[in-house]
Amino acid sequence: MLILWGTRQQQHKLGFVAEFCPVCRKITPFHVSAIRTVSHLYGVAVGSAQALGHTGNCEACGTRIALNAADYRGFSREAGSDVEALIQQTFPEIRARRGQRLELAECLRTGTLYPAERALLLAEAFEIFAHLTEANFSDATQIRGRGAWCGLGTIVLCVGLGWAASNLTDSTHQDYAMLAVFTIAVFGGLASLILLATEPRRSFARKILPNFAAMLRPLRPSREEIADLLARLKQARLKLGKRLKPERLWKALEALPVPEPVEETGRPRDRDPLPVSSAPPPIPLDSATLAAGERTARIIETFQTFAERTQANYGGGLHVRGRGGWGCLGTILLCIAVGWAGAHLASGHDQEDHVFQIVATIAVAGGIYSLVQLFLEQGRIFHRKICPELVAALRPFELSREEIHDILGRFRAAGFKLGTKLQPEWLCAALDAQSAPVGPPPMPQSGMPAASYQDDGLF
């Protein structure tokens, strides 16, 4: 009997938000989706889904990028035509949070970029489309495009001819009709497989390459820069470096119109260069020294760090650790000791059966205890380590109750377990207390997902 089981990805659409698009280089509507993995048996989902992250598709250019769904206050059901209204509804602090990106886009438009800033934008463009190319060619087995239509047409035609052949009375005509069905099935199936195998190349040439060239054109890269960056990607074994030749990208760039120069409103580079380091600056201890937008960004970043730890702690399967690990080890050793003693001391068949019953009882009771402890261990790690460290990291910001409720609500709406496992009132009380919080925070009874955060334990 063939059993089909495993894991698969699910894409759950959350809604529309306003976000900065690195390709359009302006604020545009994005359609946000949550990417999750779920176990399945014969294609039917079994168990709870585990969140992998969130992606957004730009409604203007169609580019897909990774997003942090906790940045947004909510999600709109429709993108609408008024971007400002979407900003106020979903991301009102976007101009403060994305101020550096917006300033870089304006500097690029006016031709006042510093060389380091231009190099950063070039590297970012290649990084974004390297990820898109990897995703495009990894979806080669998906039924889409011309291959899907060819396969559907083959099935419909074979079913129609087979039904017509079954209604024929002449056996000779029936044989010819069934031969035609077989021929159509073979050649149609081969054509479908070939079209499915080549669909990623067509999708790359039709969607990814034009957007890539459009993003690079304002930066005016040279042939040497293109060849160097593609060589780096090829050395890293990324498909963009292998699939795209420098000459092909250069021709795509030459086919686009050259951006017209913009009349500058001030002296060129009448400003300090923007920081281009990927490492965030240290968080000051005094939250009053932070600007409003930067403070919000630091708070979200802190919550995001502990949200990822919470996701890892509650997802990914059971791991033998903590009390459950010691319970497993004790059960195994006790069963071995009792079995060995019984094998050497039992003198009759009845005594051997009695020893076997004792070993079975120990194994069942110890196994149940160990499983319960393994499921509870993820909660103990969350209470004992993650929550106190989160409180310590948040104390310098002097958060208000409204901010705590708002941020945890964002993480809950985005599907993060930190938003569902951590009660806002407990966090408020822990932050208000002068000493470290005593005891674990209350947790809602929402099932027992598997644990994978291995911070301590036996193994």
Q: What tens-digit pLDDT sequence spans the chain (459 residues)?
A: 445 566 667 788 889 999 999 989 999 999 999 887 776 665 566 656 666 778 899 999 888 888 888 888 889 999 888 999 999 999 998 998 888 889 999 988 888 888 888 999 999 999 989 988 888 887 545 667 788 889 889 999 999 988 888 887 778 888 888 888 899 999 998 998 888 888 888 888 988 899 899 899 989 899 999 999 999 999 998 999 998 999 999 999 988 886 665 444 444 555 566 555 443 344 344 444 455 567 877 888 888 888 888 877 776 555 677 788 888 889 999 989 888 887 777 666 777 778 888 889 999 998 898 888 887 888 888 888 888 888 888 888 888 888 888 888 888 887 788 888 888 888 888 888 844 444 444 444 433 333 333 343 332
Q: 37 pairs with which residues across the strands?
A: 9, 50
Rg of the chain's alpha carbons, rounded to an integer?
30
Alpha-helical regions (H) of 262-416? 292-314, 322-345, 349-381, 387-394, 401-413
Angle between helices 223-235 and 115-138 (to 10 degrees): 50
Site of tokens 């306003």: 18
> In the numeric block, which tokens belong to residue 30?
């994005």
pLDDT of 376: 84
Give, in degrees to the nearest 5, the angle at Cα 327 between 321 and 328. 80
pLDDT at 47: 59
CA angle 144, 150, 151 (to 5 degrees): 80
Task: Provide the 8-state DSSP code for 135.
Answer: H
231-246 in b/e form (b: 16+ CB < 10 A) is: eebeeeebbbbebbeb
CB crowding 53-67: b at 16 or more within 10 Å, else e: ebbbbbbebebbbeb
Prediction pTM value: 0.62
Sign of the torsion angle spanned by Cα atoms 146, 147, 153, 154: positive
The angle formed by the CA atoms of residues 428, 432 and 437, to the nearest 5 degrees, is 80
The residue written with tokens 């334990």 in the block is 457
Q: Are 112 and 274 in contact (CB under 8 A)?
A: no
| Residues near 210 by beta carbon (within 8 Å), at least 6 away in sequence | 252
Which pLDDT score, from 0 to 100, does residue 26 have?
92
Residue 90 is predicted with a pLDDT of: 92
Cα 154 to Cα 151: distance, rounded to the nearest angstrom:
5
Cα 205 to Cα 134, 136, 209, 252: the distances in Å are 14, 11, 5, 10
SS3 letters across 185-217: HHHHHHHHHHHHHHHHHHHHHHHHHHHHHHHHH
Contacts of 133 (CB under 8 A, 6+ apart): 204, 208, 238, 239, 240, 243, 244
Helix (H) or strand (E) holding 14: strand 5-21
Cβ-count burial of 301 within 10 angstroms (0-12 exposed, 13-18 middle, 19+ buried)?
Answer: middle
CA distance 426 to 416: 18
Strand, helix or coil for residue 396: helix
pLDDT at 447: 39
pLDDT, residue 244, reads 92
User: What is the DSSP secondary structure assignment for residue 431, as one 8-state letter?
Assistant: H
Extract the tokens encoding 402.
């409204």
